[in-house]
Amino acid sequence: MIPMVDLKEELDILGEPIFKAIKEVLESGEYILGKKGKELEKQIASYVEASYGIGVGNGTDALYLALRALDIGPGDEVITTPFTFFATGEAIAQVGAKPVFVDIEEDTYNINPLKIREKITHDTKAILVVHLYGQTAKMKEIMEIADEFNLKVVEDACQAIGTEYKGKRVGGIGDIGCFSFFPSKSLGAYGDAGMVVTNDKNLYEKISKLRNHGSQIKYIHSTIGMNSRLDEFQAAILLVKLKYLDILLHKRSELAKRYTMKLNNLVKTPPLIESREHTFHQYCIELDERDQLASFLHQNEIASAIYYPIPLHLQEAFSYLNYHEGNFPVAEKAANKILALPIFPSMTFEKQDRIISALKKFIKIKF
Ligand SMILES: *Cc1c(COP(=O)(O)O)cnc(C)c1O
């Protein structure tokens, strides 16, 4: 079976330095909020060209803490995309605010800036932008709207570490950027981990406190926070993998280019992208016979996945928002037609060719 990601294969290459890093932490006697975590905060901030990094438990907490730090809560509205992982909308609801969805663009699957203005009310406080699949959203247009209406911008860059937009790395463009190091992400830990980045010292201090029980000095608590910290093992592992991140991202883009060149006359593919505007955390194609193709690939021992089959506005958890089918046709169409193909840095061209041939065979049988 060719899996969606092969994390064990990666260990064949990075195993030695990672085992060494883990041993170092074991022997250090320091397991939470220690030297490795601090170093990772510094290095991730520097990698995404932001001033500060705050290590947290996971990407969902990163989003929650970002919104808390911006004092967003009950009575406030946050504009976001309905076509994303559930956590994006969940974090908005967790702080007590109301998610307000805006349909996506056909080509990038990201929030459509042309449709944001009509959703802004006097309760709107922020835009939560997602760089889906590793492709940047239209940040220039979004930042202009935010400026015009005095809104904050939070970037959900959980799938997009290393993605660039007009010479800047995503996560460091808006007021706050959020990253997930969930194992299958482009920079993955071997457990849960996440990071918040910002250029604002005040927000940095606020988030540092909030993730640690609202406390800066031990046993003195100025606000209600939470326990969401990055542990030293994950930080040590991520410090090793960060050194290879650019190589890993390059491999992804090489594979993506090959897919597109060989498939773009058969199905809807992402465009050929030479810049780092897309780092291909996922490689997604679109076709009407999506479900049939998925089972055909499965029969041929090839995994595929649907990100995401149900847009957020149609999720039961958000039924209280009273959206219904037809509200966001572009997102709904994508949910019905999208299929992610396996893409991971250690995938050989040989394996990729097996996937491409299977796909071609399916199209031939079908049409
Ligand atoms: C993975 C992901 C998250 C959540 O990250 P976790 O670390 O799993 O909590 C949030 N948003 C997006 C877009 C993601 O892909």
The answer to whether residue 367 scores a pLDDT higher than 80 is no
3-class SS letters over 170-199:
CCCCCCEEEEECCCCCCCCCCCCCEEEEEC
Tell me the CA–centroid distance for residue 172 and ligand 1, in Å.
Answer: 17
The pLDDT value recorded for residue 219 is: 93
The pLDDT value recorded for residue 5 is: 94
Say what percent of the chain tops pLDDT 70.
100
Closest ligand 1 atom number to CA of residue 91: 10
The predicted-structure confidence for 196-223, as pLDDT tens digits, reads as follows 999 999 999 999 999 999 999 999 999 9
Residue list, ligand 1 pocket, CB within 6 Å: 58-60, 84-85, 87-88, 130, 156, 158-159, 180, 182, 192, 194
Cis peptide before 308 (omega within 30 of 0): yes
The pLDDT value recorded for residue 317 is: 98
Where do the domains of the chain lie, and which CATH numbers do they carry?
7-102+110-242 (3.40.640.10), 245-366 (3.90.1150.10)
Residue 361 CB partners (closer than 8 Å, separation 6+): none
Rounded distance between C-alpha atoms, residue 124 and residue 109, angstroms = 23
Once rounded to an integer, what is the mean pLDDT over residues 173-189? Answer: 97
Tell me the CA–centroid distance for residue 189 and ligand 1, in Å.
Answer: 13
- Residues in the chain, overall count: 367
Indicate if the alpha-carbon torsion angle 126, 132, 134, 140 is positive or negative.
negative
Testing ligand 1's pocket by substitution, the residue of 81, 133, 158 carrying the most ligand atoms inside 8 A of its CB is: 158
Average of per-residue pLDDT values in the chain: 97
Say what percent of the chain tops pLDDT 90.
96
Rounded distance between C-alpha atoms, residue 332 and residue 312, angstroms = 10
The predicted-structure confidence for 333-346, as pLDDT tens digits, reads as follows 999 999 999 999 99
Percentages helix, strand, coil for the chain, rounded to the nearest 5? Answer: 45, 15, 40
Alpha helical stretches, state H, 150-289: 201-210, 232-263
The answer to whether residue 104 scores a pLDDT higher than 80 is yes
The pLDDT value recorded for residue 12 is: 86
Nearest CA to ligand 1 atom 2: 158
Nearest CA to ligand 1 atom 5: 59
Tell me the CA–centroid distance for residue 132 and ligand 1, in Å.
Answer: 10
> Can you say how many angstroms the Cα of residue 48 is from the centroid of all Cα atoms in its chain?
14
The predicted-structure confidence for 124-145, as pLDDT tens digits, reads as follows 999 999 999 999 999 999 999 9
The dihedrals phi and psi of 194, each to the nearest 5 degrees, come to -160, 175
Testing ligand 1's pocket by substitution, the residue of 80, 159, 176 carrying the most ligand atoms inside 8 A of its CB is: 159
Instruction: Look up the pTM and report it.
Output: 0.97
Contact 104, 83 (CB under 8 A): yes
Closest residue by Cα to residue 321 from 124, 99, 9, 37 = 99
Q: pLDDT-derived band of residue 232, with 50, 70 and 90 as boundaries?
A: very high
Closest residue by Cα to residue 180 from 169, 165, 195 = 195
Testing ligand 1's pocket by substitution, the residue of 85, 90, 186 carrying the most ligand atoms inside 8 A of its CB is: 85
Tell me the CA–centroid distance for residue 11 and ligand 1, in Å.
Answer: 23
The pLDDT value recorded for residue 102 is: 98
The CA–CA distances, whole Å, from 280 to 132, 205, 272, 283, 334 equal 9, 33, 11, 6, 17
Nearest CA to ligand 1 atom 10: 87
Q: pLDDT-derived band of residue 13, with 50, 70 and 90 as boundaries?
A: confident
Once rounded to an integer, what is the mean pLDDT over residues 49-74? Answer: 98
Which region, left, alpha or beta, applies to residue 256 given φ > 0 means left and ψ of -120 to 50 means alpha? alpha
The pLDDT value recorded for residue 11 is: 87
Closest ligand 1 atom number to CA of residue 58: 7
The pLDDT value recorded for residue 31 is: 94
The predicted-structure confidence for 266-325, as pLDDT tens digits, reads as follows 999 998 888 899 999 999 999 999 999 999 999 999 999 999 999 999 999 999 999 999
The pLDDT value recorded for residue 264 is: 93
Testing ligand 1's pocket by substitution, the residue of 56, 67, 88, 229 carrying the most ligand atoms inside 8 A of its CB is: 88
Q: How crowded is residue 352: how many other Cβ atoms within 10 Å of its Cβ?
A: 19
The predicted-structure confidence for 21-37, as pLDDT tens digits, reads as follows 999 999 999 999 999 99
Closest ligand 1 atom number to CA of residue 87: 10
Tell me the CA–centroid distance for residue 60 and ligand 1, in Å.
Answer: 6
